[in-house]
Amino acid sequence: MLVVIWIIWIIWAVIYLRKESSKRKTRVSPRPSVSSSVPTLRDTNPYRPSTSSQTPPRVSPQPPSTSTSSVPPARDPNPFRPSTFSQTPPRVSPQPPPATSVPRARDLNIFRPSTFTRTSTRPAITFTEIDASAGSPIDLDIKGLVDALTGAPLTLSLGLFQCQRCQVFYQLQSFDVIKSENGGRCVSCQQTKIINVSRRREQRGRNVDVSIITLENYRQYVGRVITFEGHVYNVKTSKRGTDFAVMFENRSWAKGFKMVVLRNCVVRVGGTAYLKSLAGHRVRVRGLLVNHALFGYQIIVSDRAMILGVQ
């Protein structure tokens, strides 16, 4: 659009310059003087040229007429119309070079299948037979062996631990009890070298020696598994209502000798109703004898198999 306007302006300038050059060639003749005897009427035109010879006034250029009589020239399909006078062509601002596309870094995490067939360089998978001499849980010779704490027969699927010094075995549940109630010490030798043996072969184990105690000598068997038989005076419940004490002495919880079942073992021992039904009976029990800092001497029982008999 700007180019078209610029071309029209050049054409108009050329026509205007030609008209001006033709006007300058013609000279204007001076107006004749009027006789003084005859009064002249005042001319309303404020311009009154002198009678003396002078240069005709310069006529200011008038803009081109906008009347409908002037017909604009037809648009030339050729946009280039050279002018009759020299002029400086318009300055064309340089265009920035097109931006070159920068290749993006290849994402190594995206799989792009190739169009050609590639040969796999991965080694073939080989299968080897397992040496039977390497050992497995089935190789453990546990026939006739029992849990050192509960006295129940050992079961491989329940997790198996063994003391490296005295070779007695524990199930996972019993191992958790001796960790929390006996400082992780073995109930047979009082050592802490107890490891998991469910994944490798170990030497033949043995059963723990269980001592039979009475109310007169129980204090010298702290930290060991014992067997005790006595009359149950009553069954006490803890303040939180989840722990139970089967009292073998008619004294308070902290001062009397007792069998204790903690809250996480109540269901495995037989439940609340069963424990309360022991009151007034003679009970033979197997368990871990501990001396608690607040509750005194007590036999920890964690399984129904640890209650050996009720009369």
Cα separations in angstroms, 37 against 42, 128, 231, 254, 259 = 15, 150, 174, 161, 164
Residue pair 247/233 in contact (Cβ under 8 Å)? The answer is yes
Q: What is the pLDDT of residue 117?
A: 53
Q: What is the pLDDT of residue 9?
A: 84
**Residues of CATH 2.40.50.140 domain(s) within the chain?**
211-310
Positions of the chain with pLDDT under 50: 34-38, 53, 66-69, 128, 130-138
**Which bin fits 142, alpha (ψ -120 to 50), beta or left (φ > 0)?**
alpha
Residue pair 203/167 in contact (Cβ under 8 Å)? The answer is yes
DSSP assignment, residue 101? Answer: P
**Residues of CATH 3.30.40 domain(s) within the chain?**
137-196
Among the listed residues 256, 259, 270, 244, the one whose alpha carbon sits nearest the alpha carbon of residue 301: 259
CA distance 217 to 236: 24
Q: What is the pLDDT of residue 75?
A: 64
End-to-end Cα spacing for the chain:
119
Q: 137-196 is classed in which CATH architecture?
A: 2-Layer Sandwich (3.30)
Residue pair 225/300 in contact (Cβ under 8 Å)? The answer is no
Q: What is the pLDDT of residue 34?
A: 46
Strands 225-231 and 211-212, by their bridges, are parallel
Alpha helices in 198-284 (DSSP H): 266-269, 272-276
Output the CATH code of domain 211-310. Answer: 2.40.50.140
